[in-house]
Chains A and B, each alone.
Chain A
Amino acid sequence: ETGVTQSPTHLIKTRGQQVTLRCSSQSGHNTVSWYQQALGQGPQFIFQYYREEENGRGNFPPRFSGLQFPNYSSELNVNALELDDSALYLCASSDRRDRSYEQYFGPGTRLTVT
């Protein structure tokens, strides 16, 4: 088990609604990355936050946004939900001072959009 936690575990939303997912990083980690994993696929990089600023973004539209707080925890916000947003959302924390490149993943939030 890593020290990364995510909430909620499961979430059901209706198309057009907005959702906020939360992630607490492992103690001492200053970087949080978010990934979307559709059923049967590998995770896809959404964006990364380092020192409260976005530090790289994957191929996701602007309705996917995020925040990182001074304690390094993070939020992922998705506006105007679409059916294809149904997926497992994973956050991963890491420490940029540690050049091991290893990321520590949380258990994920399963989002279902109906």
Chain B
Amino acid sequence: SQQGEEDPQALSIQEGENATMNCSYKTSINNLQWYRQNSGRGLVHLILIRSNEREKHSGRLRVTLDTSKKSSSLLITASRAADTASYFCATDDRGTDKLIFGTGTRLQVFP
């Protein structure tokens, strides 16, 4: 079963705009990761945020984590057409290295 939901399910924006995706999860976690998947291919790790962190940046990516609300957000700034992909959040399963994925957000960036 999925850990939680991602919102929105799909997002379409123009190049240069910012894209925000949200992830909610159900159980206590040690860390939360975001992955990207291009059109049914393998997943690429983007960023990991630990449960004692509230915000993390990596290039054009900004991730926040609110453990009290069991939610996280991924912000992609100044989006590019090449950012078109599905984005998934994943949490650890009871402190192990096994991942529980959300349902994903499909992002389309138009040139």
Which residues of A does B touch, CB under 8 Å?
2, 4, 31, 33, 35, 41-45, 48, 56, 58-59, 88, 90, 92, 94, 96, 100-108, 110
Contacts and interface: CB of A to CB of B under 8 A. Distances in A.
Interface residues of B, number: 26
A42 B103 contact: yes
A101 B2 contact: no
Given A4-B42, A106-B42, A108-B40, A44 B101 contact: yes
B2 A42 contact: yes
Interface stretch (B56-64, B69-77, B89-97): B89-97
Nearest to A100: B48
Contacts of B20: none
A45 B99 contact: yes
Contacts of B103: 41-42
Given A41-B2, A42-B102, A42-B104, A56 B42 contact: no
B92 A101 contact: yes
Candidate in A42, A43, A102 with the most chain B CB atoms within 10 angstroms: A42
6 contacts: A4-B42, A41-B103, A43-B101, A48-B98, A106-B42, A108-B42
A100 B99 CA distance: 13
Interface in B19-54: 30-31, 33, 35, 40-45, 48
Contact of A102 (B33, B101, B104): B33
